[in-house]
Structure 1
């Protein structure tokens, strides 16, 4: 009887874990279904044009003022998708260079007391609310961009395309970079420190310099963890709304790379920032459905990132196994 009771006690935590896992799965399914239902009117009316056409700002205005008997459900999110990809992609590129370099310096080169202090600073930066980054962006980044790059002649030259101010793609990239770089640094440090010391000692035994050990042994061994950090940072960047909405310019333009550096001064609008910026127009059901369509795209991108991360991780593990 006592043994049976003990077995039941041991199975209780396992059952609880199964129940909580099931609740989590059901919650995720509910979120996808709820957002999909809310977004369906716009998805059905727009079709493939939802992701292939632009003009979201004008369409929101038209849908908001449309009469009740003739609602407007046709929207194009291409400008928002382009703004999201440009902003997040460039930020991730900058964060990768800064983050991996800083992680190597902290995990491999810095003395332990200095590394501990720097690690604490990185964790502190990662915990700062996004609205604080947005405030810094408005107060510091936007004026700095405007003072450094925006001239009256440039504004006049490109006035037929858009109004050039400090609120731009460049300001969004700078703010978002400093938001996601602590995550890249922190996860890269963990990945570098997880590499067995025996691998480093083997490299030194063969006469390799410290730099070559880091470059040829440590980084390849830690690449799966570093890549996971990059994917998580990319996911956070895509979903960031508050800080980006404060500095991006709030217009769904598609940056024209043929303009050169001026394309970085283009005012843009991301999918997540659009939900914030256009929320005052949600009194119109069509606009509400369009914003839920933005949310549905963000959910799909997040799911794709998660699946892609798992596939890449499995591929890296197989390649490392083959190498062994």
Structure 2
């Protein structure tokens, strides 16, 4: 350690390196933070400029609405050449947005409930040996590449759903509108939930471990049972971390492309709840999956601008999530730990 703190001069004199002062550390670390912020701003600006033709041609909000077949609209863009007119940028992205909101929203809600109770069990009730196995296993699942989940979904879940849960009569009832074959809303939500739940479990487990045991012991001394002490003290104090886990998982779900492209049915279609139980078997395609599936057509300027518009919408959604999570945690931190 001492050798690392010394340097030699041509005259052979050796002296210790001067450590940073508080002011120097603040300036240098602040410069790094500003550089990161600048990179993010430039990235958003670059994407916004590239998405401008689609936004301008369709209206800055109107292109988010419904109208026509989005798959056909993207297909027509490919045929418009290298110098397309404004009419070639016609796009209504609502089916893709709807698919993103549906899969992400349901997966995060289901995963949050499951991860909360799983984390409570791991921290408070699981035997030491089981805890020693469960925690590394959860972290390992959180690190599994998403394409593995997609592969299991398309090779195992989708055939099971198509062969055992969807009857021939159900397929025939909607065949004039859409084809259902097992891939669709249900499989996409299941795969996405399995993907993001380990992330939330790992964060909530660390948060519950950070709660002082004296807090729950005090609650038990006042007459609360163990579950009441955990729920009213530990979980309440860990709410900022639970919100952070939900925000992080939502951001991961919004940007998931490969796995959902494999299991969602990959069609720009808006499932209709009035179809009853058939609704959960109908195909969809989220925004991120649409970006991946149109990579081969990026030579067409209209398609490229549309893909950038999808990316801009995802970036703004992530920004809104971060800001919303920050303000949601502010009142919670006054009553719990600053996790």
TM-score range, shorter chain: over 0.9
Please list every run of 5 or more consecutive structure 1 residues that lacks an aligned counterpart in the other structure: none
Q: 1:197 aligns with which of 205, 210, 213?
A: 213
| Structure-1 residue corresponding to 2:193 | 177
Q: CA deviation at 1:46?
A: 0.8
| Structure-2 residue corresponding to 1:33 | 45
Q: CA deviation at 1:7?
A: 6.7
| Structure-1 residue corresponding to 2:182 | 166
| Structure-2 residue corresponding to 1:239 | 255
Counterpart contact for 2:186–2:280, Cα < 8 Å? yes
State yes or no: 1:52 paired with 2:60: no
| Structure-2 residue corresponding to 1:92 | 108
CA–CA separation in structure 1 for the residues paired with 2:316 and 2:273: 27
- 1:234-268 CA distance string (max 9 Å, x none): 11101111111111111111121112221111100
1:7/1:179 CA distance change after superposition, 3 Å? closer
Q: CA deviation at 1:8?
A: 5.2
Could you state the TM-score of these two structures normalised by the residue count of structure 1? 0.93
CA–CA separation in structure 1 for the residues paired with 2:242 and 2:84: 52
CA–CA separation in structure 2 for the residues paired with 1:232 and 1:10: 32
SS in 2 for 1:88: helix
Could you state the TM-score of these two structures normalised by the residue count of structure 2? 0.89
Q: 2:128 aligns with which of 107, 112, 117?
A: 112
Structure with higher helix content: 1
1:23/1:267 CA distance change after superposition, 3 Å? same
State yes or no: 1:82 paired with 2:92: no
State yes or no: 1:135 paired with 2:151: yes
Counterpart contact for 1:141–1:174, Cα < 8 Å? no
Counterpart contact for 1:49–1:75, Cα < 8 Å? no
| Structure-2 residue corresponding to 1:273 | 289
Q: CA deviation at 1:274?
A: 0.4
Alignment of 1:121-132 (within 5 A): 121-132=137-148
Counterpart contact for 2:184–2:263, Cα < 8 Å? yes
Q: CA deviation at 1:90?
A: 1.0
Counterpart contact for 2:112–2:200, Cα < 8 Å? yes
**Structure number with larger C-alpha Rg:** 2
CA–CA separation in structure 1 for the residues paired with 2:302 and 2:176: 30
Counterpart contact for 1:56–1:77, Cα < 8 Å? yes
Q: CA deviation at 1:69?
A: 5.7
| Structure-1 residue corresponding to 2:80 | 66
CA–CA separation in structure 2 for the residues paired with 1:253 and 1:45: 23
SS in 2 for 1:311: helix
Q: CA deviation at 1:116?
A: 2.0
SS in 2 for 1:108: helix
Q: CA deviation at 1:16?
A: 2.8
Counterpart contact for 1:63–1:286, Cα < 8 Å? yes
Counterpart contact for 1:134–1:246, Cα < 8 Å? yes
Instruction: State the aligned residue count.
Output: 316
Please list every run of 5 or more consecutive structure 2 residues that lacks an aligned counterpart in the other structure: 1-16
